[in-house]
Amino acid sequence: MKVLVLAHGILGFGAPKFLLLGKLINKFRYFSGVSAAINQKVLKVLEPHVPTIGSVQMRADRLAELILKNTFPDDEIYIIAHSMGGLDARLALHQNPTLSARVLVLTTIGTPHDGSPVADADVAAGGTYVTEKILNFLPSRAQGLLDLTTAACAAFNRDCPDAAGITYYAIAGDALAGNKFSAILKFASQIGGIENVPNDGVVVVESAERKNWLILPRWPVDHLALIGWHTDYLFNSNEHVERYLQLISHVTGIDYQQLKK
């Protein structure tokens, strides 16, 4: 069986645990509307939940655990990961040979492989009020923001080589190209000093387009719209779902018409 894993980023969440609730709030999933658009008779979709603000190590451990628990040894696994989820997946594949033996492709979307200047600026300023309180009271579980700094990601890249036998793709968001910035992420880009270089509001294109990987065309939207969310209004249009279907067809080899529900 072919299995698609959708790995969420920091402050994200997996699929609702209760089936009925999942149906009722399907569009409120982290990857908004994506799983609902897929024919799961041909591609099983997993949306695991990992520690929301945990370290990459904590999140990677949980991601590997949940994937292995919900798949079989002969399954073909394809991971699509947004933002920090891409770092989680990279570490999980590097550290867990049992998992990497099942995974054929990892595709990251808006992942700060080289870190995020916005995270640098937030940490340098002591973090937001909420972040500061979290770091003070739950330091072992709130490492996430610190792991997204450029210094932390430089060390991560040094210590976490790609797993053998896996195809790696990267997609960057470039909201400048599409002039599709939400107000809050435009402000975030200014805080991070990246407003004049191609970026998605949080991650610069150069960081998202991982060196030596296969680079797919950029999506002309900001960091949240990469997953179908937009902070100026509740949801972006469904154009992102079409992007995902085309991407999934490409990486899995499943015919688009068969894939689409």
Report the alpha-carbon distance of residue 223 to residue 111 in Å, rounded: 9
pLDDT in tens, 105-139: 999 999 999 999 998 887 765 544 444 544 454 44
pLDDT of residue 74 exceeding 90, the answer is yes
Q: Give percent above pLDDT 70 in the chain.
A: 85
Of residues 205 and 134, the one with the higher pLDDT is 205
pLDDT at residue 126 in the model: 54
Q: Give percent above pLDDT 90 in the chain.
A: 69
pLDDT of residue 211 exceeding 80, the answer is yes
In this prediction, residues 7-34 reach a mean pLDDT of: 73
Of residues 38 and 130, the one with the higher pLDDT is 38
Residues 6+ apart with CB under 8 A from 25: 16
pLDDT of residue 140 exceeding 80, the answer is no
The count of other CB atoms within 10 Å of the CB of residue 187 is 13
Complete DSSP assignment for the chain:
-EEEEEE--TT-----SSHHHHHHTGGGSSSTTTGGGB-TTTSEEE-----TT--HHHHHHHHHHHHHHTS-TT-EEEEEEETHHHHHHHHHHHH-HHHHTTEEEEEEES--TT--HHHHHHHHTT--HHHHHHHHH-TTT--TTGGGSHHHHHHHHHH-PPPTT-EEEEE-B-HHHHT---HHHHHHHHHTT-TTSSB-SSSBHHHHS-TTSEEPPPBSS-TTGGGTB-TTSSB--THHHHHHHHHHHHHH---HHHHB-
Report the alpha-carbon distance of residue 199 to residue 128 in Å, rounded: 22
In this prediction, residues 186-210 reach a mean pLDDT of: 94
pLDDT at residue 191 in the model: 87
Phi-psi region of 179 (alpha: psi -120 to 50; beta: other; left: phi over 0): left
Report the alpha-carbon distance of residue 34 to residue 115 in Å, rounded: 27
In this prediction, residues 234-257 reach a mean pLDDT of: 87
The count of other CB atoms within 10 Å of the CB of residue 82 is 25
Quickly state the pLDDT bin for 237 (edges 50, 70, 90). low
Quickly state the pLDDT bin for 22 (edges 50, 70, 90). very low
Quickly state the pLDDT bin for 233 (edges 50, 70, 90). very low
Q: Are 66 and 89 spatial neighbours (Cβ–Cβ below 8 Å)?
A: no
pLDDT of residue 17 exceeding 50, the answer is yes
Domains in the chain with CATH codes:
2-259 (3.40.50.1820)
Of residues 16 and 218, the one with the higher pLDDT is 218
Query: Which structure tokens are listed for 103?
Result: 């995974």
C-alpha torsion 200→206→207→213, nearest 10: 120
In this prediction, residues 191-199 reach a mean pLDDT of: 93
Residues 6+ apart with CB under 8 A from 249: 255, 256, 259
